[in-house]
């Protein structure tokens, strides 16, 4: 009975501390505005409200980059026609290919620089003035006329990723269009169906797995990183019956409450901007909920080991930047599985976007739960060892 | 006395003292120093020694054979044994299913990670090849993960070309095998370096600077001395820029001497461009710090700007905005200088853009801190 009474009192204290923490957080109106503005702007940008390729409608181009949902820039491509061969009566096939390129230039989908000097195009490519060049080879028309394939020379600059994607996409489109118009099906008439791409909100669909966890984790851990180290009245709390476990737990719950409302805003806005997912919205919510929880616990851990608010912020940059770069450039599964951002990103793709069962990725949930427990306990231990200055 | 404190010599002396005070405070913070210089080392090392492949690894394919002919079997064998790509092929016999059942299973599995694509060999596959020298080839590719989709598409093209070469079966067609230039840039660290360096400099310097005013406790007392407010701003900008200089030199030297990244420009040119970018990050950071009333607010402003900048430069790329973002300008300028061998003169549009943004925020900082920010009065 005594123990039960103690638990009741503890819950009562946690409730009081929770309300106090929530009030402290909500009191900083400017900070709250940024917390909520960030996800709203994120979804609006990804949803194409401010332009770009956000509506994701299939413009018929069908290139790889447009499938990614990326807003493509107009690439500049060099073109050399080396073909003087004869094959079809009364037509110049290489000229038709050049005209096809010009049609796309008129439609403002590409800029073409015609030349007869490959060295000049190499220099332009090296200078970044053109992002690719095509050479129509000698025997182009003849080979096609005798039912033989022709190989175009295509050189692409890979130094600028956006130009690389845009030029490859437009070259694919021009070649497909040319083949279709002239009935060059090849031995295999590829009928490629790009499956599982939603009809609406493509950009949102392609950005959701990276940017949703990024925003949720960043806000949660950044705010969490200041909760202990910047909490001036926390030392006075030592005079009350509240213990440090109750204090840290109430901080966690209050920030998680805010993060939950933020996740709901993200999901509702995404739904209105046309995000289509194969999995259940509840699963998607829980994935983001867990990401937020992990973010707060990471933040609390940083806050408990930092001596100054600035130090906590620096720890936050370290953790956040390291994860972003790892997610973008590292492919080692072991390293990625330990990073909350990469883990959440994977769970979103598998469970929310692909519609797989949550059980199919239980190992990643297990890692996240383990990290939650380990870092929370570590945060508590460090916080408990901190000296109280009255 | 008032003439004395307004003299150029006195102002210079005060600014110099402010720089010393700022640097002393910053250097005393050992953790911040370690983090500021350890982050680039860790991140560059992680990418430099890590593995990266644009092609998504093994491609899992189903081939649904409705034809059951020697030709269709040969087609499947080409995928299994005669391609240069890493492909794992499953056919209906592996599951003891009919072609219809197998197609149903493929449809179900396509959204999952089990397969990336499936190909249907239609009933008249061999007949079409014999009589028309051409046949339809329905292919279904899962585009949820675009890297795997890209990989699958390339692998399928590779195998079908091999099939045609082995069987000497050709028809009017147009191929291209893109030649990537420059060849040496296929090294992941080399590809990533322009973006990586820019993002690290911006994130580290900007976030540290966001705390320079809002977290400066003795600033209020300092402003009771004969120090002008704009001198404080100038002192802070210069001291944080000095810190940035050390970070830039460390990053560039580490990339060059540890990971062998070759710069096709003068080291000083690359350094000066990055310094301008770092000063830009500093003035933006000072602005965030000036308009914030708590440490949390200023770091959240950083986060807001950072994520939006990342989103616009990497995914949304709205032309009206993207060209005005410092990260975009610095990345493009890095590529032009370090990899294309251009000079500072050649990249003047990027430098002008960065300078205008820097000047704009510098003026805003001075005006805001001098006339609008009343907290210290």
A63, pLDDT greater than 50: no
Interface A-B, measured as beta-carbon pairs within 8 A, has a size of 318
Same domain, A237 and A364: yes
User: Above 90 in pLDDT, residue B280?
Assistant: yes
Q: Are B296 and A226 in contact (CB under 8 A)?
A: yes
Q: Tell which of A186, A193, A355 to mutate to test the B interface (max B CBs under 10 Å).
A: A186
Structure tokens at B74: 């040969």
A22 or B364, which is more confident? B364
Determine how β-strand B173-176 pairs with β-strand A149-157.
Answer: parallel
Query: In this structure, are A92 and A23 located in the same domain?
Result: no
CA-to-CA distance for A21 and A12, rounded, in angstroms? 14
Cα A362 to Cα A351: distance, rounded to the nearest angstrom: 11
Average pLDDT, chain B: 86
Q: By CA distance, what is A142's nearest residue in B?
A: B172
Interface test with B, best of A143, A329, A354 (most B CBs within 10 A): A329
CB contact under 8 A, A150 and B175: yes
pLDDT band at residue A265 using 50, 70 and 90 as cut-offs: very high
Mean pLDDT of chain A, nearest integer: 85
Identify which of A70, A178, A194 has the shortest CB distance to residue B143. A194
Upstream peptide bond of B182 is cis (omega within 30 degrees of 0): yes
- A106 with A224, same domain: the answer is no
Q: How many domains does chain A have?
A: 2
CATH for A146: 3.40.1710.10
pLDDT tens for each residue of B292-334: 888 878 888 888 898 889 888 887 777 778 888 999 999 999 9
For position A115, what pLDDT does the model report? Answer: 93
- Determine, for residues A329 and B38 on separate chains, whether the beta-carbon distance falls below 8 Å: no
A58 domain-assigned:
no
Cβ-Cβ contacts under 8 Å, A52 against chain B: 316-318
Residue A346's pLDDT is: 92
Residue B106: its pLDDT value, please? 94
Query: A165 and A306 in one domain?
Result: no
* Segment B229-247 mean pLDDT: 89
Task: Among A35, A162, A318, select the one facing B317 at the smallest CB separation.
Answer: A162
Q: What is the mean pLDDT of residues B339-363?
A: 94
Query: Residue B155 in contact with residue B87, Cβ under 8 Å?
Result: yes
Does A307 fall in a domain?
yes
Tokens of B83: 């391609």
How far does Cα A27 stand from its chain's mean position?
31
Note whether A227 and A370 are same-domain residues.
yes
Q: Which two tokens stand for residue B25?
A: 């405070």
Task: Say if residue A340 is in the same domain as residue A225.
Answer: yes
Query: Taking CA A169 as the corner, what is the angle to CA A84 and CA B152, rounded to the nearest 5 degrees?
Result: 105
User: For B107-116, what is the mean pLDDT?
Assistant: 90
- CA dist A250 and A12 (Å) reads 11
Chain A residues in contact with B175 by the CB 8 A cut-off are: 149-152
Neighbouring CB atoms inside 10 A of B96's CB total 8
**Range scoring the smallest mean pLDDT among A187-191, A386-390, B42-46, B293-297:** A386-390
pLDDT at residue A320 greater than cutoff 90? no
- Tell me, yes or no, whether A188 lies in a domain: no
| Residue A187 lies inside a defined structural domain of this protein | no
A35 touches B: beta carbon within 8 Å: yes
Same domain, A248 and A308: yes
Question: Comparing B8 with A173, which gets the higher pLDDT?
Answer: A173
pLDDT surpasses 80 at B178: yes
Could you please report the per-residue DSSP string of A103-172? Answer: HHHHTTS-EEEEES-HHHHHHHHHHTS-SEEEEE-TTHHHHHHTT-EEEEEEEEE-SSHHHHHHHHHHHH
* Residue A390, domain member (yes or no): no
pLDDT at A57: 40
The arithmetic mean of pLDDT across residues B216-243, rounded, is 82
A203 in the same domain as A349: yes
Confidence of residue A156 (pLDDT cuts 50, 70, 90): very high
Look at residue A389 in the predicted model and tell me its pLDDT: 55
Whether the per-residue pLDDT at A27 is higher than 50: the answer is yes
The closest alpha carbon to B241, from B279, B273, B204, belongs to B279
Q: What is the pLDDT of residue A103?
A: 94
> Which range of residues forms the domain containing residue A362?
2-51+199-385
Q: Count CB-CB contacts under 10 A for residue B9.
A: 8
* Residue tagged 């300092």 (tokens): B222
Rounded to whole angstroms, the Cα distance separating A75 from A59 reads 17
Assign A328 a pLDDT band (cuts: 50, 70, 90): confident
> Residue ranges per domain, chain B?
2-51+184-372, 59-166
- Where a domain ends, among A127, A150, A181? A181
Q: Can you give the three-state secondary structure of chain B, one letter per residue?
A: CHHHHHCHHHHHHHHHHHHHHHHHHHHHCHHHHHHHHHHHHHHHHHHHHCCCCCCCCCEEEEEEECCCCHHHHHHHHHHHHCCCCCEEEEEHHHHCCCHHHHHHHHHHHCCCCCCCEEEEECCCHHHHHHHCCCEEEEEEEECCCHHHHHHHHHHHHHHHHHHHHHCCCCCCEEEECCEEECHHHHCHHHHHHHHHHHHHHHHHHHHHHCCCCCCCCCHHHHCCCCCCHHHHHHHHHHHHHHHHHHHHHHHHHHHHHCCCCCCCCCHHHHHHHHHHHHHHHHHHHHHHHHHCCCHHHHHHHHHHHHHHHHHHHHHHCCHHHHCCCHHHHHHHHHHHHHHCCCCCCCCHHHHHHHHHHHHHHHHHHHHHHHHHCCCCC
Q: Token pair for residue B176?
A: 């291209």
Do residue A161 and residue A74 come from a single domain?
yes
Residue B112 makes CB contacts below 8 A (sequence gap 6+) with A354, A356, A360
**The predicted structure's pLDDT at residue B184:** 60
Q: What is the DSSP letter of A387?
A: P
List Cβ neighbours of A97 (8 Å cut-off, separation of 6 or more).
Answer: A81, A136, A140, A178
Q: Provide mean pLDDT across the span B120-141.
A: 91
Alpha helices (H) along chain A: 2-27, 29-46, 64-67, 93-106, 118-127, 140-145, 161-181, 202-227, 244-272, 281-305, 309-329, 333-337, 340-347, 362-385
* pLDDT class of A61 with cuts at 50, 70, 90: very low
The pLDDT value given to residue B107: 92
- Under the banding of pLDDT at 50, 70 and 90, the label for residue B245 is very high
* Subunit contact A317:B203, Cβ cutoff 8 A: yes
CA-closest candidate to residue B236, choices B26, B9, B5, B8: B26
Report chain A residues whose CB lies below 8 A from the CB of B303.
34, 38, 218-219, 222
Residue A136 forms beta bridges with which residues?
A81
A57 is a domain residue: no
Give the gyration radius of chain B's Cα atoms.
30
Task: Indicate whether A74 belongs to any domain.
Answer: yes
Binned at pLDDT 50, 70 and 90, residue B82 comes out as: confident
Q: Does A11 contact chain B (CB < 8 Å)? A: no
Which residues in chain A have Cβ-Cβ distances shorter than 8 Å to B315?
A: 46, 69-71, 203, 206-207, 211
- Closest CA relative to residue B175, chosen from A135, A150, A187: A150
Half-sphere CA count of A76, side-chain side, radius 13 A:
11
pLDDT at A226 over 90: no
Tokens of B235: 């002192």
Same domain, A39 and A108: no
B299 contacts A316? CB cut-off 8 A: yes
- B53 compared with B304, residue with greater pLDDT: B304
CA atoms within 13 A on the CB side of A291: 29
| Residues A320/A376, Cβ–Cβ less than 8 Å | no
A245 and A280 fall within a common domain:
yes
- Residue from B27, B37, B144 to probe the interface with A (highest A Cβ count within 10 Å): B144
Q: What pLDDT is attached to residue A51? A: 63
Task: Tell me which residue in B50, B308, B321 faces A332 most closely, judged by beta carbons.
Answer: B50
What is the predicted pLDDT for the residue at A235? 63
Does B50 sit within 8 Å of A330, measured CB to CB? yes
Q: What Cα–Cα distance (Å) separates residue B45 from each residue in A11, B50, B67, B189?
A: 47, 8, 52, 9
pLDDT greater at residue B17 or residue A239: B17
Decide: B376 and B222 in contact? Cβ < 8 Å.
Answer: no
Taking 90 as the threshold, does the pLDDT of residue B177 lie above it?
no
A170 and A80 within one domain: yes
Instruction: Please say which residue of A181, A212, A232 terminates a domain.
Output: A181
Strands A149-157 and A132-136: antiparallel
Which of A118, A151, A181 represents a domain boundary (last residue)? A181
Pick A321's closest partner by Cβ from B43, B149, B296.
B43
More confident residue, A364 or B168: A364
By CB atoms closer than 10 A (0-12, 13-18, 19+), residue B108 is exposed
Q: Is residue A194 part of a domain?
A: no
Give residue A290's pLDDT.
96
| pLDDT surpassing 70 at residue A55 | no
Which of A151, A195, A226 has its CB closest to that of B140?
Answer: A195
- Cα B151 to its chain centre, rounded Å, is 21
Predicted confidence at residue B251, as pLDDT, reads: 94
Name the fold adopted by B59-166: abc type-2 transporter like fold (3.40.1710)
Question: By CA distance, what is B172's nearest residue in A?
Answer: A147
Helix axes of A309-329 and B30-49: crossing angle, nearest 10 degrees: 10
Tell me the per-residue pLDDT of A352-371, one tens digit each, with 9 for 90 and over: 999 999 988 899 999 999 99
Q: Is A135 on the interface with B (CB under 8 A)?
A: no
């Amino acid at each position: 009975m005594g123990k039960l009474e103690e638990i009741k009192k503890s819950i009562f204290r946690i409730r009081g501390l929770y309300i106090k923490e929530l009030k402290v957080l909500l009191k900083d109106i400017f900070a709250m505005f940024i917390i909520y503005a960030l996800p709203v702007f994120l979804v609006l940008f990804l949803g194409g409200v401010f332009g770009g390729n956000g509506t994701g409608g299939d413009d018929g181009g069908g290139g790889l980059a447009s499938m990614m949902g990326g807003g493509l820039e107009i690439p500049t491509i060099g073109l050399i026609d080396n073909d003087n061969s004869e094959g079809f009566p009364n037509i110049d096939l290489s000229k038709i290919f050049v005209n096809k390129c010009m049609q796309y230039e008129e439609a403002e989908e590409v800029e073409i620089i015609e030349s007869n000097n490959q060295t000049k195009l190499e220099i332009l490519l090296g200078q970044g003035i053109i992002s690719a060049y095509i050479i129509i080879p000698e025997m182009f028309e003849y080979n096609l006329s005798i039912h033989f394939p022709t190989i175009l020379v295509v050189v692409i600059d890979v130094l600028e990723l956006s130009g690389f994607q845009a030029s490859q996409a437009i070259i694919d489109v021009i070649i497909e269009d040319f083949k279709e118009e002239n009935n060059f099906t090849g031995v295999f008439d590829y009928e490629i169906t790009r499956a599982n791409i939603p009809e609406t909100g493509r950009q949102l669909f392609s950005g959701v797995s990276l940017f949703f966890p990024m925003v949720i984790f960043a806000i949660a851990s950044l705010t969490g990183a200041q909760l202990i180290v910047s909490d001036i009245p926390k030392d006075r709390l030592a005079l009350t019956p509240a213990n440090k476990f109750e204090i840290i737990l109430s901080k966690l719950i209050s920030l998680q409450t805010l993060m939950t409302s933020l996740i709901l805003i993200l999901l509702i806005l995404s739904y209105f901007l046309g995000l289509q997912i194969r999995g259940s919205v509840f699963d998607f919510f829980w994935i983001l909920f867990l990401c937020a929880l992990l973010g707060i616990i990471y933040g609390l851990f940083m806050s408990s080991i930092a001596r100054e608010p600035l130090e906590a912020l620096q720890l936050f940059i370290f953790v956040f930047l390291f994860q972003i770069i790892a997610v973008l450039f590292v492919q080692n599964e072991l390293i990625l599985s330990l990073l909350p951002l990469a883990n959440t990103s994977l769970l979103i793709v598998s469970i929310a976007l692909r519609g797989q069962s949550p059980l199919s990725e239980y190992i990643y949930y297990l890692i996240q739960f383990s990290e939650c427990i380990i870092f929370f306990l570590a945060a508590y231990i460090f916080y408990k060892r901190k000296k109280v200055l009255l | 006395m008032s003439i004395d404190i307004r003299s150029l010599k006195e102002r210079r002396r005060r600014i110099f003292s402010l720089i010393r005070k700022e640097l002393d405070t910053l250097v005393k913070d050992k953790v911040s120093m370690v983090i500021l210089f350890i982050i680039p080392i860790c991140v560059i090392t992680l990418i430099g020694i890590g593995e990266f492949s644009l092609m998504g690894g093994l491609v899992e394919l189903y081939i649904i054979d409705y034809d059951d002919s020697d030709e269709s079997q040969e087609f499947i064998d080409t995928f299994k044994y005669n391609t240069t790509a890493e492909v794992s092929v499953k056919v209906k016999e592996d599951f003891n299913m009919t072609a219809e059942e197998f197609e149903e299973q493929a449809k179900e599995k396509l959204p999952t990670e089990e397969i990336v694509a499936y190909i249907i060999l239609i009933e008249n596959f061999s007949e079409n090849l014999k009589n028309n020298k051409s046949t339809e080839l329905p292919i279904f590719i899962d585009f949820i993960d675009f890297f795997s989709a890209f990989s699958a598409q390339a692998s399928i093209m590779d195998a079908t070309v091999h099939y045609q070469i082995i069987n000497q079966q050709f028809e009017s067609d147009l191929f291209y095998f893109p030649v990537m230039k420059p060849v040496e840039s296929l090294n992941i660290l080399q590809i990533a370096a322009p973006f990586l360096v820019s993002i690290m400099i911006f994130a580290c310097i900007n976030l540290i600077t966001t705390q320079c005013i809002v977290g400066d406790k003795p600033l209020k007392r300092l402003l009771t001395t004969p120090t002008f407010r704009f001198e404080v701003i100038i002192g802070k900008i210069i001291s944080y820029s000095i810190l940035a200089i050390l970070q830039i030199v460390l990053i560039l030297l580490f990339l060059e001497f540890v990971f062998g990244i070759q710069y096709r420009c003068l080291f000083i040119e690359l350094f000066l461009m990055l310094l301008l970018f770092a000063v830009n990050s500093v003035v933006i950071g000072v602005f965030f710090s000036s308009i914030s009333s708590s440490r949390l607010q200023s770091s959240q402003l950083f986060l807001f700007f950072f994520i939006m900048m990342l989103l616009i430069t990497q995914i949304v790329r709205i032309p009206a905005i993207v060209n005005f973002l410092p990260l975009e300008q610095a990345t493009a300028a890095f590529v032009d200088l370090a990899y294309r061998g251009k000079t500072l003169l050649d990249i003047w549009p990027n430098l002008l853009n960065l300078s205008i943004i820097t000047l704009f925020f510098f003026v805003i900082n001075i005006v805001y801190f001098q006339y609008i920010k009343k907290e210290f009065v």
